[in-house]
Amino acid sequence: MLPTVSLIIPCYNEEKRIRSLLDALLAQTYPLEQMDVTIADGLSQDRTREVIADFQREHPQLAIRVIDNNAKTIPAAVNRAIEASVGEFIVRLDAHSAPYPDYVEKSVEALLADRAENVGGVWEIQPGADGWVAAAIAIAAAHPLGVGDALYRHAREAAYVDTVPFGAFRRSLVEKIGGFDESLLTNEDYEFNTRIHQSGGRVWLNPQIRSVYFARATLSALAHQYWRYGLWKWQMLRRYPATVRWRQALPPLFVLSVLANLLLGFFFPVFWGLLALELGLYFGILFFAGIKK
């Protein structure tokens, strides 16, 4: 008999997206009677809970449980949802996403084949709204210039990796290494995967495990998201300095070099030339990458 699977979803003010996610879960090829859904809601102020309740009335065949996330943070939401769920396997999802119909099935297959302790797939990034700004954000979020060597954005072949988005794992893994670190407001998944590696486990990415991820719709929302990412990534890397990757180090090093050339240029004019060369090369690469895309 196939194992039971608990789908875990942190959620806050997602009235625009939660229905499409639930529709995607209903369309899963994995048997619905072997799945349950736990949504940890951070006390949403919009119609999120009404949308969920309407879906529950329309589709009682999919077991859905909604719990309060009083801490209103993602790691707390994931932990509370895991505690409230009952499945042997855990599949962590996001309210900004919509998994392909075989997402759960392929995740379970990989776990049953002992590919790794945590398995995940790739994102197909789509705009979070209509308009050229949202479209540009989605393109940048999927391009190697925007994300570096993060394979979950563009991998074509399966591989062992440092991290995967969301992930699927056995409940026994949480019992072994602990849940998600609630002192980190973001990057909790990266920290979780770091502990998997430290415990001797592996993290596996399979591009056949796919989900649509809706990027932020506005520049202000994107800036807020990446400000949080950067702030808490620094906290995580201070704890695990050996996990730093070039894609994480390159942006701050670039900013520091720009500032250094700018300041030194007041004393040594040659640095103005270096600054112009550096910025010209940077914007030139962006321009040609944008034209090609």
* 43-52, 123-132, 219-228: range with highest mean pLDDT: 43-52
Model confidence at 227: pLDDT above 90: no
**3-7, 53-57, 267-271, range with the lowest pLDDT:** 267-271
Q: What is the pTM of this model?
A: 0.85
Domain 5-125+152-214 has CATH 1.10.760.10: no
* 17-31, 120-134, 214-228: range with highest mean pLDDT: 17-31
Model confidence at 119: pLDDT above 80: yes
Residue 187 has what pLDDT? 84
Work out the average pLDDT over 230-242. 73
Output the DSSP codes for the chain: -PPPEEEEEEESS-TTTHHHHHHHHHT-SS-GGGEEEEEEE---SSSHHHHHHHHHHH-TTSEEEEEE-TT--HHHHHHHHHHH---SEEEE--TTEEE-TTHHHHHHHHHHTT--SEEEEEEEEE-SSSSHHHHHHHHHHHSHHHHTT-GGGT--S-EE-S--SS-EEEHHHHHHH-S--TT-SS-HHHHHHHHHHHTT--EEEEEEEEEEEE--SSHHHHHHHHHHHHHHHHHHHHH-GGG--HHHHHHHHHHHHHHHHHHHTTT-THHHHHHHHHHHHHHHHHHHHHHH-
Q: Considering only CA atoms, which of 103, 88, 85 is closest in space to residue 30?
A: 103
**111-115, 139-143, 152-156, 186-190, range with the lowest pLDDT:** 152-156
Domain locations in the chain as residue ranges: 5-125+152-214, 250-292
Residue 248 has what pLDDT? 67
Query: Mean pLDDT, the chain, as a whole number?
Result: 88
**14-28, 192-206, 257-271, 278-292, range with the lowest pLDDT:** 278-292
Q: Tens of pLDDT along 19-43?
A: 999 999 999 999 999 999 999 999 9
Structural tokens at position 50: 């009404």
Output the DSSP codes for 116-164: -SEEEEEEEEE-SSSSHHHHHHHHHHHSHHHHTT-GGGT--S-EE-S--
Residue 111 has what pLDDT? 97
Q: Tens of pLDDT along 85-100?
A: 999 999 999 998 999 9
Phi, psi of 213 (to 5 degrees): -120, 125
Residue 166 has what pLDDT? 87
Confidence of residue 219 (pLDDT cuts 50, 70, 90): confident
* 48-62, 111-125, 259-273: range with highest mean pLDDT: 48-62
